[in-house]
């Protein structure tokens, strides 16, 4: 029995080690020596009015097969200048040319300051738009990428909600924009999943829509808000 346990332990260790090796990048960020692909872009905040300087931008190529592993390659990195502009240069390998959809961008900002839609550890991830087909020895300009600063929304119920119909519905949703032109929504289901306080994009116009269905009667109300970074707005509704 002891031998079996030892065998199982070493087999598990070998399996986990192999998975780790498959998922870890095979190289550091290399320098392109020729036939380079050049990508230029810009990071902005505050309703696209303020550049984000000194942010790191990384280009990656990779894919995951879940438990069976995957592969990730670091391709290039750059630091945004005082105007939020960046330029990265990298070489597209032969197998990468056959899988261009596996290229993506990491935008690394201070997550104590800037909102993170993806809830990743250290970066906001974006893919190249469908309008761009990466090739070697070419330059591509991508649209400015919006990363808002952080504000907060606090949800406060003004009353105990009394449900009289199983189809009753009470929801408040905040909608704004993020990235190039991505709609973002943050909702509070007051009946089933009430929230306390959440992060929301700051210094950007948000639409607040509240929908109620009570005893078969549907009502809607909409308002527009903008919250400065670091501040908290209280959203209080009655059913």
Spell 28-65 as b/e; 16+ CB within 10 A means b. Answer: ebeebeeebbebebbbbbbbeeebbeebebbbbbbeee
Domain CATH code at residue 160: 2.60.40
pLDDT tens per residue across span 73-93: 999 999 999 999 999 999 999
Same domain, 94 and 212: no
β-sheet bridge partners, residue 77 = 58
Contact status, residue 125 vs residue 105, Cβ threshold 8 Å: yes
End-of-domain residue from the set 124, 146, 168: 146
Q: How many helices, marked H, and strands, marked E, lie in the chain?
A: 2, 16
pLDDT at 7: 38
Same domain, 89 and 202: no
Same domain, 115 and 214: no
d(CA 100, CA 37): 12
pLDDT at 166: 86
Same domain, 92 and 156: no
User: What is the mean pLDDT of the segment spanning 110-135?
Assistant: 79
Contact status, residue 79 vs residue 56, Cβ threshold 8 Å: yes
Same domain, 50 and 130: yes
Same domain, 31 and 74: yes
Which domain covers residue 23, as residue numbers?
Answer: 2-146
End-of-domain residue from the set 130, 146, 162: 146
The yes-or-no verdict on residue 160 having pLDDT over 80 is: no
Cβ neighbour number for residue 223 with a 10 Å cutoff: 10
End-of-domain residue from the set 104, 127, 146: 146
Same domain, 134 and 30: yes
Same domain, 116 and 155: no
54 Rama sector, left if φ>0, alpha if ψ -120 to 50, beta otherwise: left
Which candidate, 51, 135, 137, places its Cα nearest to that of 86?
51
How does DSSP assign 131-177, residue by residue? T----SSEEEE---EE--BEEEEEEEESSPPPP-STT-EEEEEEEEE
| Tally of structural domains, the chain | 2
Quick one: tokens of 134? 């990466």
Select the highest-mean-pLDDT range: 106-115, 132-141, 187-196: 132-141
Give whole-number Cα distances, 119 to 19, 34, 73, 124, 160, in Å.
24, 36, 22, 8, 32
User: What is the mean pLDDT of the segment spanning 174-185?
Assistant: 86
pLDDT tens per residue across span 21-56: 333 444 588 999 999 999 999 999 999 999 999 999
């Amino acid at each position: 029995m002891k031998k079996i346990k030892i065998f199982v332990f070493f087999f598990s260790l070998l399996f986990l080690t192999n998975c780790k090796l498959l998922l870890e990048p095979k190289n550091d960020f290399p320098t392109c020596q020729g036939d380079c692909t050049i990508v230029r872009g810009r990071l902005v905040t505050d309703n696209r009015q303020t550049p984000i300087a000194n942010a790191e931008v990384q280009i990656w190529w990779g894919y995951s097969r879940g438990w069976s592993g995957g592969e990730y390659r670091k391709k290039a990195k750059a630091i945004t200048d005082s105007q939020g502009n960046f330029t990265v240069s990298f070489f597209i390998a032969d197998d990468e040319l056959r899988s261009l959809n596996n290229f993506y961008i990491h935008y690394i900002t201070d997550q104590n300051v800037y909102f993170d839609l993806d809830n990743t550890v250290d970066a906001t991830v974006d893919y190249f738009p469908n309008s761009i087909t990466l090739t070697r020895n070419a330059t591509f300009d991508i649209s400015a990428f919006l990363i808002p600063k952080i504000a907060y929304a606090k949800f406060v119920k003004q009353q105990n909600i009394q449900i009289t119909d199983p189809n009753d519905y009470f929801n408040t949703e905040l909608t704004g924009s993020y990235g190039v032109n991505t709609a973002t929504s943050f909702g509070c289901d007051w009946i089933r999943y009430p929230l306390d306080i959440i992060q929301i994009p700051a210094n950007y116009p948000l639409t607040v829509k509240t929908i109620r269905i009570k005893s078969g009667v549907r009502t809607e109300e909409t308002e527009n808000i903008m919250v400065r970074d670091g501040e908290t707005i209280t959203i209080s509704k009655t059913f």
